[in-house]
Amino acid sequence: MRILLTGSNGFLGQKLTDMLLDRNDVSLFCTSKSPNRNPNQSGYAFQQIALEDREDLRQAITSFKPTHIIHTAAMSSVEACEQEPERCQQVNVETPRLLAEIAAQHHIHYTFISTDFVFDGQNGPYRETDPTGPCNAYGNSKIKAETAVLAANPQAAILRTILVYGVIADKNRSNLILWAKSKLENKEPIQVVSDQWRMPTWVDDLARACILAAEKQAAGLYHISGDTLYSIIEVVQQVADYWQLDKSLIRPIAAETIGQAKNRPRTTGFILDKAKTQLGYTPTPLEETFRQMDIQLLKLQQS
């Protein structure tokens, strides 16, 4: 496989880069809008490309001649998407559409990453066939992108995911688990939303799902996440339990108190049957991911 990866500086992008470099059957070309921030910078090509620059994108694809494109780059901040609607439209809708068109023209398999925020949170967990109804501009942009991608390229794979967490070498990239662990280790009290429910996704599982979709030339929508529904505060309490930290520092707060009752879905979660059956996807249990994260953190400390 010759894989062109967008958003390689992102959390998933860096994990995918490292995972693909462990294989000897892949040539990898990474792109991001900013200079390469992955501490691992050998064994692959990298080019700094702004997603809005259509000509640079086309030239990169023409020169590298990928067999697969995995598009992870996105504008994922709910608030930024509300505040910058034109940029949100360009990055989250127009660029995925363009890449889908190019991939279709050149018979390149295309994988696009979407989100549980395409749902309104009233009837989760969700199947791929359930009606969507986003409650924020970010989710709305992803619905538009999904529609545009499949219209331009019906053979594309779209992987929706939820609340991604894990460990990568770039210490500037954090997530719910590492944030909670760090705060509790420093004996700092933290406020955590208690009335929203998710199935958190280990970044290693999501990266493997992207590779499975590429290998199997998957087409259509797939739900990729963990397989247990937790409230967000329950996830943080699991962090405290596993690392034997003080749970009394965890203070519940209602989503409404921080202005996130209406612009975040209350309950998402996915039914994973399609991904398990068609892709061979197997989510890792939460506690086992913590064990693996411990191993990864130790390796990073030793390197």
Q: Dihedral sign for Cα 54, 60, 66, 71, please.
A: negative
How many Å apart are CA 242 and CA 295, to the nearest integer?
A: 14
CB 100 within 8 A of CB 152: yes
pLDDT band at 51 (very low <50, low <70, confident <90, very high): confident
> Is 176 within a domain?
no
Q: Is it the case that residue 52 has pLDDT exceeding 90?
A: no
User: If you average pLDDT over every residue of the chain, what do you get?
Assistant: 96
Least confident of 17-21, 156-160, 169-173, 212-216: 169-173
38 occurs within a structural domain: yes
pTM of this structure: 0.97
Domain assignment present for residue 177? The answer is: no
Q: Is residue 137 part of a domain?
A: yes
Query: Domain tally for the chain?
Result: 1
Average pLDDT score over residue span 156-164: 98
Task: Look up the domain containing 139 and give its range.
Answer: 2-166+199-227+267-286
- In this prediction, residue 119 has a pLDDT band, given cuts at 50, 70 and 90, of very high
CATH number for the domain that contains residue 130: 3.40.50.720
pLDDT of residue 89: 97
In this structure, is residue 278 part of a structural domain?
A: yes
Residue 73, domain member (yes or no):
yes
Confidence of residue 267 (pLDDT cuts 50, 70, 90): very high
CA-nearest of 96, 43, 42 to 73 is: 96
Ramachandran sector of residue 146 (left: φ over 0; alpha: ψ -120 to 50; beta: rest): alpha
Tell me, yes or no, whether 241 lies in a domain: no
Other Cβ atoms less than 10 A from the Cβ of 167: the count is: 24
pLDDT of residue 282: 98
> Cα(300)–Cα(268) distance, rounded to whole angstroms?
33
Average pLDDT over residues 178-188: 98
Question: How much is the average pLDDT of 125-153?
Answer: 98
The CA angle 76-48-117, to the nearest 5 degrees, is 10
Q: Are strands 230-231 and 197-198 parallel, antiparallel or unpaired?
A: antiparallel
Average pLDDT for 207-212: 98
User: How many whole angstroms separate alpha carbon 81 and alpha carbon 219?
Assistant: 28
Residue 247 lies in a domain: no
- How many degrees, rounded to 5, is the angle at CA 97 between CA 91 and CA 98? 90
Q: Say what the pLDDT of residue 171 is.
A: 85
Chain segment 282-292, per-residue pLDDT in tens: 999 999 999 99
**What is the per-residue pLDDT for 146?**
98
b/e map 250-265, b = 16+ CB within 10 Å: beebebeeeebeebbb
Strand partners, 193: 253
